[in-house]
Amino acid sequence: MNCPLGHGELHTEIHTGIEVDACAVCGGEWLDPDELQAMESATVRDSVVLSGMIEYQPNPGQRPCVVCHKPMYEFDYRGNPLQVDVCPDGHGYWLDGGEEERVRVLIRQRARDLNRAASAEGSFGAFLSRIRGQLGGRRR
């Protein structure tokens, strides 16, 4: 397989236990279909965080798939301003150099945001219960 940016042959690397095909020139990485989810799971082990859509706002792209050479399309990764390329036939994902770390940062942020929301919801529920108890006691 060759780099979709024209930098030559990709070589195999292991990143946190996941085998990716990487470009030595631009630092881009080809991830097979299940490897993006495996990367997310290796970063955050919470199934709630990992649920939901990955691909938002698809747009036609220019880069060829490293497997079938069809033009890939770009999408906003989990609704964030990070454009990731994907093969229309599902062969995999292309991350430009540095985007693997951005994916990891974004999935960690998603985990923090969901945990914060759950904590706030629990606190608000407890607050409402106290208020209801206080109001119920006054009516008697």
**Cβ proximity of 72 and 61 under 8 Å:** yes
How many domains, in total, are found in the chain? 1
How do the pLDDT tens digits run along the chain, 140 residues long? Answer: 999 999 999 999 998 889 999 999 999 999 998 998 888 888 877 655 555 777 888 999 999 999 999 999 999 998 888 999 999 999 999 999 999 999 989 888 888 887 765 555 555 555 666 676 667 766 55
Q: Write down the pTM of the prediction.
A: 0.76
What are the angstrom distances between the C-alpha of 62 and each of 1, 10, 54, 90, 94? 17, 19, 20, 16, 12
Asked if the structure places residue 2 within a domain, the reply is no
Side chain identity at 93, as an amino acid letter?
Answer: Y
Alpha-carbon span 51 to 124, nearest angstrom = 24
Asked if the structure places residue 57 within a domain, the reply is yes
Asked if the structure places residue 3 within a domain, the reply is no
Residue 70 lies in domain? 11-139
Asked if the structure places residue 40 within a domain, the reply is yes
Asked if the structure places residue 4 within a domain, the reply is no
